Structure 1
């Protein structure tokens, strides 16, 4: 099918979704047939995802191939969502997080600590931080590949950490948060920061994820993605020196509990 016809289908579907009172649900195989694809492939999944995202429609969970196999079966249901700007404050229960001794000790050791490479940023800073945000080892997909295509050429993106809620069937295969580690102090450089943010936006688009955290273990930046735009300014940022003081705010933005609540509300 020509690109023009595919764009027309996407325009009509996005208009229908934008005018709907409730989120639209359909089976994966129905969505493929809607775009006249007989079979699911990296190319068809990428084209449908991109065409709808360009028009402000997000597919949740993602229909892309994540990992070595298709996570969603053809009979599984997905939500087609207009890119809502839900208020985070209205959806998330603000709470003060009581810090245990281990966490206090971890925070106390952070200022001035040196991380020698990206792997150390991951293992010694980002993974413990994700744990404190409520994500268990089972919720975390390390180095998650997302298979796609540019035309007939297959592509593969690798997300440092994709975070799920594996204890909640209602959020089956929905990526709650993507987390990216960078070399220590890399984000101080404007060009490197811009590249990191664009990269995270691409990862978020193809995993149908609305939030991301990027850190070089000196700066922490949280993004909320809107796929009609390349990227936005961070909705939260702080230095590692201020993390203990600002942890409550970070928790209320991207903890497992609060993001689970956020994505469920999107589906209503």
Structure 2
């Protein structure tokens, strides 16, 4: 998802409405419960899912959501009734992530990663953007199921075949509470980095609010393991986004 959209201040009502749209598109259903499973198993299968825009009411969208159309959120042609998209899960595997790897491959946008890399190359002592520095400060390791997948933008024509190689990767944490951990560590780190950048008269980098981060997970391709309801409930509660579960319970 384009990082600038994450910084748009949208009313809570609008965020919740958009979340429902995202949940429908990705086939996720949230039921708030109070218990957390002791362990989770991946509900991941190789294969292709076709997504179709059944209806689109521009006036309702503008009134309920905001002036940014569906194409700003879900890609080209997603504002056309009948347009279809294709999402293909190519592979999934077990992997461990260090904090540095998650910061650079998952949390930072590509533009921000290259920006920090260029600073580190010209003035290496300024922000100390290195694997050793970050991993020693934030020593957690994260066990994940990593999903490799491809997608095609919405189209009114014939959908092309997707590539057999993964274009996108998404780490699904085996324990949902760890999403809170990586969010807190990332925001703590960006606060320190931004203080240095700001004092040097340089552009700062983005952090995430809890709702921003939940949006990122949805748009980046979250596939909740089983038991799904327990996993999503734990994730949402951990991010203090309980208002979303409340809306789902009354929808």
Instruction: Normalising by structure 1, report the TM-score.
Output: 0.25
Instruction: Normalising by structure 2, report the TM-score.
Output: 0.26
Name the structure where strand makes up a greater proportion of residues.
1
By relative contact order (CA 8 Å, sep 6+), the higher-ranking structure is: 2
